[in-house]
Structure 1
Amino acid sequence: MGGSGFLGGELVRRSVMDGRVVAATYLSRPGAAAGADWLPLDVRDRTAVAALIGEFGPDIVVNAAFRQSDWVTTAMGAAHVAVATSENGGRLVHVSSDAVFSGKAVTYTENCVPDPITPYGAAKAAAETAVQAIDPTAVIARTSLIVGDGGSPHEDLVRSLATGGRNGVLFTDDVRCPVHVRDLSAALLELANSDRAGIHHVAGADAVSRYELGCLIARRDGFDPARLPFGRRADTDLPGPVDVRLDCGLTQRHLRTRLRGAREFVK
């Protein structure tokens, strides 16, 4: 679910390369990845979700569908996918987010209780609760800022800021554990094919600020990092957690996929 997004597209590409029969859903337009059946779906429509999953009969469903400003898509949509997948005997991997945490504790393990402070974080936390209640065998994979080799929204933002094409700043106190989209997709599919269940943290090994990450991306892409505007989230009235670090040590011990840090994969 959510195959046309940045993560969804990589999941489709990797699954097709692995020789799987892949159906990928989209809300407004199909993705660019070849080799998949692209199917329109609004996860807010419980009947449509049940019909599609019932007709296709997937062995594995990875739910990467979300909309930050839409509770029904993010929270209720996850419940609809979980119900339909469970009823059809499929294996569910639900993609969650570090947004379920406030940042008060800074570092979070898999057994930490969500304490979201934004509507999006609350929707993601509600989705986790629903998925666990509906299907205790499902994997819930919390991740962080997703980066690639040039195609992610954060990378687009950095390039726009570096060239003066967009106003804004990169926060020096807004810390996350960025993950490469290839590492994340490989880990999600590995978890899907395992006997693991419950909460897993799947993020990068490095805790970096959005500004430091921006500097890494700028250097890689041939831009002067000195051109990047910076500031502190604490000096603004923007809602949201500041420093949230997912401890992935427990999950990493069960994965063959190595979750690299941004200082390694952004070169």
Structure 2
Amino acid sequence: MRLLVTGAAGLLGRELLRTADHDVVPAYHSQAVPGGVQLDIRRRDDVRAVMRDVRPDAIIHTAYRQDDWMTTADGAVNVALAAEGARLVFVSSDAVFGHRAAAYTEDEPPCPTTPYGAAKAAAETTIRTIRPDALVARTSLIVGSNGDSGEEQRVRRLAAGEPGTFFTENIRCPIHVSDLAAALLELLVTDADGIAHLSGPQALSRHELGCLIATRDGLDPNVLPSTQGTASVIQLDSSRTQRLLKTRLRPAAEFLLSR
């Protein structure tokens, strides 16, 4: 299978390149990836040209920018329009939902409360309209193993005394990048469509997650500053998708502290 991975320079993109057992073509915007093709997904003609050159059998679209509607929303639609007969997996976010105590299932409609969440929700809605055979995979905070995720880097900065804080009322369901990549690659070769939730089964506050990362990295979790902040609880119920997978989506306490 010839697989095009957009956002190939990012944390998830790099893991997909490392683990995919396919003929993978990386697509990047500004940070070059060996063997890759440069792609500005905001430009529809550019996307079409790359699709004509690469002729992928499948696409995993991971590219986004939290502060840029054109990249996150319009760019995803441009990829879907140009994908033609290729299998399309679009990586979305739990940010399509708002604060609620109960976990969200795949059947519930988006209700974003942030511009980034609205961009992802708009992309989801349009992609499902123009490509009903596509798979939309929503995920949560992504954590790595080598300090290369945003959450890990933030722990190191704040542990070193840089300004900032971790919120105790901001709660998500973190997932390890290797679990997420494995699940996406597993779903890629199925005929699953619609919505899939791919997050860890353990809900943690940003502060609790930061403390686990600090402990793993040999840092003192007690030095991490924390504050309550505005309540923001967003949990994805991934149990339905988990039943389709051989890949086990591990809780953060397991993948961060197990040896």
TM-score, normalization by structure 1: 0.92
CA distance in 1 between counterparts of 2:243 and 2:168 reads 31
Match of 2:237 among 237, 240, 247: 247
Moved segments of 4+, more than 6 Å:
none
Instruction: Provide, for residues 218-258 of structure 1, a one-character-per-residue CA deviation record: whole Å limited to 9, x for no partner.
Output: 01101111100000222xxxxxx710000000000001110
> How far 1:105 sits from its partner (Å)?
5.1
Letter in 1 for 2:156: R
> How far 1:169 sits from its partner (Å)?
0.5
Instruction: Provide, for residues 178-236 of structure 1, a one-character-per-residue CA deviation record: whole Å limited to 9, x for no partner.
Output: 000000000011111111001000000100011000000001101111100000222xx
> How far 1:37 sits from its partner (Å)?
2.3
Counterpart of 1:237?
Answer: none
Contact 1:22/1:37 (CA < 8 Å) preserved in 2?
A: no
| Equivalent position SS for 1:201 | strand
Counterpart of 2:23?
Answer: 21
Counterpart of 1:259?
Answer: 249
Instruction: Provide, for residues 36-67 of structure 1, a one-character-per-residue CA deviation record: whole Å limited to 9, x for no partner.
Output: 62111100000110111121111110000101
Counterpart of 1:218?
Answer: 214
Q: How many residues align?
A: 251
| Equivalent position SS for 1:108 | coil
Letter in 2 for 1:2: G
Alignment of 1:1-267 (within 5 A): 1-15=6-20, 18=21, 20-31=22-33, 37-85=35-83, 87=84, 89-104=85-100, 106-149=102-145, 150-164=147-161, 166-234=162-230, 242-267=232-257
Aligned alpha-carbon RMSD (Å): 1.0
Stretches of structure 2 lacking an aligned partner (at least 5 in a row)? 1-5
Stretches of structure 1 lacking an aligned partner (at least 5 in a row)? 235-240
Counterpart of 2:3?
Answer: none
TM-score, normalization by structure 2: 0.95
